[in-house]
Amino acid sequence: MDPTAEDLCEMLIDARTRTIDLISDLSDEQLMGPRLEIVNPLLWEIGHLAWFQEMWMLRHAGGEGPILPDADSLYDSTRIPHDARWDLPLPSRHETLRYMQRVLDRVLERTRTRPGDGPEDYFRWLVLFHEDMHGEAFAYTRQTLGYPPPRPGTGDAAQMGRVAAGEAWRGDVEVPGGTLLLGSTPDCGFIFDNEKWAHPIEVRPFRIARAPVTNSEFAEFVEDGGYERREFWSEADWQWRERTAAEHPVYWQRDTGRRWLVRRYDRVGPLEPHLPVVHVNWFETEAYCRWAGRRLPTEAEWELAASGEATPDGECLSVRKRRYPWGDDPLTPDRANLDLRRIGCIPVNLLPAGDSPCGCRQMIGNVWEWTASAFLPFPGFSPDPYREYSEPWFGTHKVLRGGAFTTRSRLIRNSYRNFYAPDRRDVLAGFRTCGLEE
């Protein structure tokens, strides 16, 4: 059943509630934070959310005038250089929250009083998912800056802390080759322009890991001198390694007994062996793969392993794709770790109800997964009205799939393409590997 206008209003309110929850406990000083290349000042970022809603829903789609006369000079991310955002004459915390509420009230009114149509629906979903994405960024910004962990999205913190014991979940599954319709189809609902449209891709048979690479597996690479051994790094990867002097994942550290610890938000604790390794960039995943005699999957291979169904003779179907690894049934907590229900990842062996047909676990939720694929347009690409979403990043970013524990369930599906620059270590990214062809 398609969402009604009231359903969409409830989602917009939910997204805003999540935004406020993610910043309400921070001081004014924390809302500005240090000037770093990989984060925004959170006070600027929440104002940008309101500006984005106003720009696309009220001014572009609705023909209204600006609520704040100088909003474009404060919050337009395409015109304001990143480093300049700390120097802007930003409204106070109270004034920013008031601006956010005024914009949301007008957006809700417009959504409730105007019938949905194709063009208007695009902007409604755009501003909703834009806020959802920033909610994920707020969560990993808190990690980057060493702020306290955010509150869980649902339930209470005690319930969220109960996670079954982890165990190793190694091994590969065989994925038969076939024709994959890579990308999204019109029946997927709102679709970003970089997923348009599904097109046939021939995929050879391959082997892919049942689960993402874990902390313990990645620690073996680190302990074997993986960061110092030039043979595991390409030229570009090694240039990053030399520039940063990285010796291990960004939040790892040793205790006096040489055991691995990891900082999670403002707390340091033991490295949990069966959680997926997270906060590793594309360069680090490539080096690990060379050390392990493995490789990253292409995004076509990843999507086929997540969504392909098999015929009785073992060939993957190309006529129908699953929305999720388990099928088309809704996302539930027993299938995927999403929506910030837990403040962090869970062991890679958990949630068997979310397995894909070929036996891959946790392809949706827990941790984003790097792929080998460059972020490029699909054949016949045409930018949507918000041109800056995809087009500026083609060729410079890498594709990730699957979602993390902070990702909103209403956003994610097998065909969703995320993308980041290959040097990003702050995002909630891990990876799974494929066997080399024999």
Which CATH number is 339's domain given?
3.90.1580.10
How many domains is the chain partitioned into structurally? 2
**What tokens appear for 11 in the block?**
């989602």
Q: Are strands 267-270 and 294-295 parallel, antiparallel or unpaired?
A: unpaired
Residues 55 and 189 in one domain: no
pLDDT higher than 80, residue 131 = yes
Report yes or no: 248 and 215 within 8 Å, Cβ to Cβ: no
Residues 207 and 111 in one domain: no
Q: pLDDT at position 120, please?
A: 86
Specify if 169 maps to a domain.
Answer: yes
Specify if 259 maps to a domain.
Answer: no
Residues 108 and 197 in one domain: no
Residues 121 and 46 in one domain: yes
pLDDT higher than 50, residue 156 = no
Q: Which of 58, 117, 44, 51 is nearest to 86 (CA)?
A: 44
- Cα separation, 431 vs 422, whole angstroms: 13
Q: pLDDT at position 320, please?
A: 57
B/e letters for 300-312, b = 16+ CB within 10 Å, e = fewer, are bbbbbbbbbeeee
Q: pLDDT at position 159, please?
A: 40
Chain centroid to CA 352? 22
Taking CB atoms within 8 Å and a gap of at least 24, the contacts of 91-96 are 91/47, 93/28, 93/31, 93/43, 96/43, 96/46, 96/47, 96/50
CA neighbours closer than 13 Å in the CB half-sphere of residue 247: 5
Summarize the confidence of residues 79-108 as an average pLDDT.
97
Given its phi and psi angles, is residue 351 left (phi above 0), alpha (psi -120 to 50 degrees) or beta?
Answer: left
Residues 205 and 296 in one domain: yes
pLDDT higher than 90, residue 207 = yes
Provide the domain limits for residue 339. 153-249+276-438
pLDDT tier for residue 437 given thresholds of 50, 70 and 90: confident
Indicate the residue among 144, 170, 186 that finishes a domain.
144
For helices 5-23 and 42-53, angle between their N-to-C axes, nearest 10 degrees? 170
Whole-model pTM: value is: 0.95
Specify if 261 maps to a domain.
Answer: no
- Cα separation, 82 vs 187, whole angstroms: 37
- Cα separation, 2 vs 80, whole angstroms: 37
Summarize the confidence of residues 257-271 as an average pLDDT.
95
Report yes or no: 286 and 427 within 8 Å, Cβ to Cβ: no
Q: pLDDT at position 154, please?
A: 62
357 or 101: which leads in pLDDT? 101
pLDDT higher than 60, residue 313 = no
pLDDT tier for residue 175 given thresholds of 50, 70 and 90: very high
CATH code (residue 118): 1.20.120.450
319 or 296: which leads in pLDDT? 296
Q: Are strands 260-264 and 252-254 parallel, antiparallel or unpaired?
A: antiparallel
pLDDT higher than 70, residue 155 = no
pLDDT tier for residue 319 given thresholds of 50, 70 and 90: very low
pLDDT tier for residue 153 given thresholds of 50, 70 and 90: confident
Among residues of the chain, what percentage have pLDDT more than 90? 84
Residue 411: how many CB atoms within 10 A of its CB?
A: 20
Residues 233 and 89 in one domain: no
Q: pLDDT at position 157, please?
A: 39
Residues 183 and 129 in one domain: no
Residues 77 and 115 in one domain: yes
Residues 34 and 159 in one domain: no
pLDDT in tens, 365-407: 999 999 999 999 999 999 999 999 999 999 999 999 999 999 9
- Cα separation, 154 vs 331, whole angstroms: 15
- Cα separation, 175 vs 357, whole angstroms: 10
Given its phi and psi angles, is residue 359 left (phi above 0), alpha (psi -120 to 50 degrees) or beta?
Answer: left
Specify if 264 maps to a domain.
Answer: no
Q: pLDDT at position 3, please?
A: 85
pLDDT tier for residue 317 given thresholds of 50, 70 and 90: very low
pLDDT tier for residue 99 given thresholds of 50, 70 and 90: very high
Report yes or no: 276 and 430 within 8 Å, Cβ to Cβ: yes
Residues 78 and 213 in one domain: no
311 or 159: which leads in pLDDT? 311
- Cα separation, 290 vs 293, whole angstroms: 5
Q: pLDDT at position 114, please?
A: 84
Q: pLDDT at position 178, please?
A: 84
pLDDT in tens, 24-70: 999 999 999 999 999 999 999 999 999 999 999 999 988 899 999 99
Report yes or no: 39 and 141 within 8 Å, Cβ to Cβ: yes
Summarize the confidence of residues 213-218 as an average pLDDT.
98
Residues 81 and 163 in one domain: no
- Cα separation, 274 vs 349, whole angstroms: 8
Residues 182 and 281 in one domain: yes
Mean per-residue pLDDT of the chain:
93
pLDDT in tens, 181-200: 999 988 888 999 999 999 99
Among residues of the chain, what percentage have pLDDT more than 70? 94
